[in-house]
Amino acid sequence: MTKIGRCSPIRGTFGAKVWKRGGSWDYDDEGLVQTGSFSGVPIRAWALASDGGHTFNHALLHPRLGIRADATSGDKGAGHRALGSFDPLFSAVPVWSGPSALLGGINLIDVTPSIRVKFAPSLSFTVESSTFWRESRYDAVYTAFNTPLRPVNPDASRYVATAPSATLAWQATRHTFYPIIYTHFFTGEFFQASPPNKNVNYLAGWVSYRF
């Protein structure tokens, strides 16, 4: 909880998390609540995140069927007496909209089914498809840096985009990790009502080294 400047928000974040890893079933679920005030207006925001799946350990390629779902609150407009926009704690980390990080974690709902197969213990291939909606019609769509990507448009659709992607990941050694990711971002009705609304291709590869 911090305060910087006369009009800066005082925001507290409280949450709980449960998870299970290993075995056939896995899950990672958490919920967050934010309270505080901004210029005398109370803050009432929330976020939910769930990621789970089932791995067929005895089948060929050990496929894992998974589904991830996230929701973060948006503001309800000038008529409400509380600020409802959730403020992500680590906004630049691409966890809300996948590796492309084209959307930020404010006023966003996403559902992402996936399937992963393993060609070897250290080599996996994952196909997934994320669909995004606005949680509130009275709030904007944001970038990963919490700046509005499009202005508020209460009359536009909640449907923002669909983004299928494919990831090839190689854990070469205990310390080095090589992923290659491709995503195609199909703009939805919200962007079509607030152009430009061009689709986006995203291709990336990098090396991670863990000490």
Q: Give the burial string for 201-210 (b: 16+ CB within 10 Å, else e).
A: ebeeeeeeee
Report pLDDT for 4.
40
What is the DSSP track for 112-174? EEEEEEEEETTEEEEEEEEEEE-S-TTS-EE-TTS-EEE---TTS-SEEEEEEEEEEEE--SS
Q: Specify the fold of 10-209.
A: Porin (2.40.160)
Domain residue limits, the chain: 10-209
pLDDT tens sequence across 165-189: 999 999 999 999 999 999 999 999 9
Report pLDDT for 125.
98
Residues in the chain, pLDDT under 70: 1-9, 91-94
pLDDT tens sequence across 78-102: 878 899 999 987 765 567 777 778 8
